[in-house]
Amino acid sequence: MDIFSTFDDRYPSMSKGHKKITDYIRENIDEAAFMTAAKLGKCVGVSESTVVRYAMSLGFEGYPELQDALSQVVKGRLSVMDRMDMQYGKSSRSELITSVLMADMARINETLELVDVDAFETAMELICSARNVYVVGIRQEAPLAAFLSFYLNIMFGNVHLVQTSSVNEIFEQMIRVDSKDVVIGISFPRYSVRALKALEFANSRSASVIAITDDVHSPMNMYSAVNLFAKSSSVSIVDSLVAPLSLVNALIVGLCMKKKREVFENLHTLEEIWADYQVYGSDEMDFLDEDKLRTLE
């Protein structure tokens, strides 16, 4: 409840507009926590820029940080379905789509502010020089791990996707990890204990550990040499991993640029194999033109 202490401390010196925002948040925090700056300003009767300045006057870097603080208070008292209802319950279908997409865009913009070019470059160097690359992503992060390992395998061929339902299976698949290998761990709130154990094990074997997670306070950072951050969102029952996927995609593209020749040769070989074995021939959609449609009629 520290945010309310901040309200109390700053309220006497606030401008009239800022007091109106504070009063509205106090009375409607369950809804205000999930409003954009523009929507909050409209409800209060002030401009969006006033809401942003208000957040900064409270010591936040911007409105998203204030919104996070408010949402933490709300999350402590509401169930997931309650929070979904607060944010989307009164929205039309078009408003719901817009709200979800705008939230994902906001997470990507926040991720852009977290980009550490040096860490990104170090991560690519470690992957390129590794004897083996292990990719760990449990539960909700499993699709991200599969996506990353699929493309890394095309580039390098020494990639292992750690697929598991127990800690024991993790250790069995990573038993040969040593100092010549790289382990990439992907985990966002709620953090996976199994993923954390995997990074701990890799660290104990002197492997280079890369963590793809949400911020500096993530427990994944305890065992990693390099940290790549992306913002996730968990307002609804669906944890949005759009920004983490964009970060993973950027890592793949960056590695492709560093290994142009190898990637080209591997893709060329794959194209030949696909053609020889008709991998895609029977699985491609044949869009019907007007003549074919008339024949079918």
Is the preceding peptide bond at 190 cis, omega within 30 degrees of 0? yes
**What is the pLDDT tens value at each position of the chain, 297 positions in all?**
478 888 888 888 999 999 999 999 888 887 788 788 888 999 899 999 999 999 999 999 889 888 888 877 776 655 555 555 555 555 666 676 887 788 788 889 889 988 999 999 999 999 999 999 999 998 889 999 999 999 998 888 889 999 876 777 888 899 999 999 999 999 988 788 889 999 999 999 999 999 999 888 889 999 999 999 998 875 554 678 899 999 999 999 999 888 888 877 877 777 777 676 666 655 555 544 555 444 444
- Antiparallel, parallel or unpaired: β 133-137 and 159-162: parallel
Fold of 117-275: Rossmann fold (3.40.50)
pLDDT for 288 equals 46
| Distance of alpha carbon 169 from alpha carbon 98, whole angstroms | 41
Tokens of 57: 């006057």
pLDDT for 93 equals 63
Would you say 119 and 226 are in contact if contact means Cβ atoms under 8 Å apart? yes
Q: How far apart are the first and last CA of the chain?
A: 68
pLDDT for 8 equals 83
| Distance of alpha carbon 176 from alpha carbon 55, whole angstroms | 50
pLDDT for 292 equals 44
pLDDT for 89 equals 56
Q: Classify domain 2-90 by CATH number.
A: 1.10.10.10
Domain 2-90 shares a fold with domain 117-275:
no
In the chain, where are the structural domains located?
2-90, 117-275
Give the global pTM.
0.64
CB neighbour list of residue 103: distance below 8 Å, 6 or more residues apart: 233, 235, 240
